[in-house]
Amino acid sequence: MENPAPQLGRTRLKVLMVEDNATDAFVLQEVITEMGLDAEVEIVMNGDEALRYIDRAGDCPALILLDLNLPKVSGFEVLKRLRASDKCGRTPVIVVSSSAAKSDKDASKELGANAYFQKPITLSEFLNLRPVIEKVLADPKTDFND
């Protein structure tokens, strides 16, 4: 496994959040923060920025939370390019989308996402994202069976 492992304790855990909805971004960040992870969450508002961020970054993020419905470059496009690139091609990605469509879930899996989380309508339900993140971080391979 050549993926750069999350460097717990040494450096802060880097999380890239690709989210154009400020409310969602706020709530998601809260979930990560409340998990007690020493994480540094970088938020980009569209796919284009997300790709540029990855290009620029010295280290690949430990986790990417990726919305699908994004301006300019869609979440799927980002995922596709990410998986196709040499850099950060294996970074764990959790697709976080409001879509309940099975097709979106299937496409995400197809394009190499490690998990899919449908954004709920209540705050309390957002807490369900915690075990998903923990699982992906612990073993990014075995996590798509929800």
Partner 1 sequence: MASAGQMQHPVGSDQFRPLYHLLSALSRSSTLKEVIDTGLSTLLEAMPADGAAIYLEENRRLQLYAARSAPCRWVNWASQEGPFAAGETLAGPMVRLCDGRSAGDLEGLARAVFLPLELDHGVFGQCVLFFRHAQKVANEESGIGLVMAVCAHLALAIEHQRAEAERQRVEHRLQAILENSTAVIFMKDRGGRYLMANRRFEQLFGVGPEQVVGLTDHDIFPQELADTLRQNDLMVLEQGKSLAIEETVPDDDGGKTYLSVKFPLRDPDGTISAVCGIATDITERKQLELAQRRLAAIVADSADAVISKDLNGIVTSWNAAAERLFGYTAEEMVGNPIGVLSPPDRPDEMPGILRKIQTGERLSAFRTQRRRKDGTLADISLSVSPLRDASGRIIGASKIARDISRERAVEREREELLKREQEARKTAELLNSIAPVLAKELDEEKLVQAATDIATQLIGAEFGAFFRNTKGKDGEALLLYTLSGVDKKLFEGFPMPRSTKLFGPIFRGEPPIRSDDITKDIRHAKNPPYNGTPPGHLPVRSYLAVPVVTRQGESLGGLLFAHSETGRFTEAHETIISGIAAQTANAMDNARLFEQAKQAQEDLRRSNEELRRANRDLELFAYSASHDLREPMRTIALSAQLIERDATAPLSPRSASFLANILNASTRMNTLVDDLLSYLKASKPEEGTLPSVNAEVVLAGVLETLGAAMRESGATVTHGALPDAVAIHESRLSQVFQNLIANGIKYRGSAAPVIHVTCEEESPGWYTFSVTDNGVGIEPQYAERIFELFKRLHSREQYPGSGIGLPISRRVIEQYGGRLWLQYSVPGAGSTFCFTVPRQAG
Judged by the rule CB under 8 A, the positions of this chain that interact with partner 1 are 21, 23-24, 26-27, 69, 98-101, 119-123
> Can you spell out the DSSP letters for the chain?
--S----TTTSPEEEEEE-S-HHHHHHHHHHHHHTT--EEEEEESSHHHHHHHHHH-SS--SEEEE-SS-SSS-HHHHHHHHHHSSTTTT--EEEEES---HHHHHHHHHTT-SEEEE--SSHHHHTTHHHHHHHHHH-GGG----
Compare residues 19 and 143 and give the one whose CB is closer to partner 1. 19
Compare residues 14 and 119 and give the one whose CB is closer to partner 1. 119
Compare residues 8 and 101 and give the one whose CB is closer to partner 1. 101
Tokens 């799927």 correspond to 76
Q: Smallest gap, in angstroms, from Cβ of residue 40 to partner 1?
A: 23
The total of other beta-carbon atoms located within 10 Å of residue 39's CB is: 19
Compare residues 84 and 123 and give the one whose CB is closer to partner 1. 123
Compare residues 60 and 98 and give the one whose CB is closer to partner 1. 98
Q: Smallest gap, in angstroms, from Cβ of residue 105 to partner 1?
A: 13
Q: Smallest gap, in angstroms, from Cβ of residue 126 to partner 1?
A: 8
Q: Smallest gap, in angstroms, from Cβ of residue 99 to partner 1?
A: 6
Helices 75-84 and 102-110: angle between axes, nearest 10 degrees: 20
Q: Smallest gap, in angstroms, from Cβ of residue 64 to partner 1?
A: 20
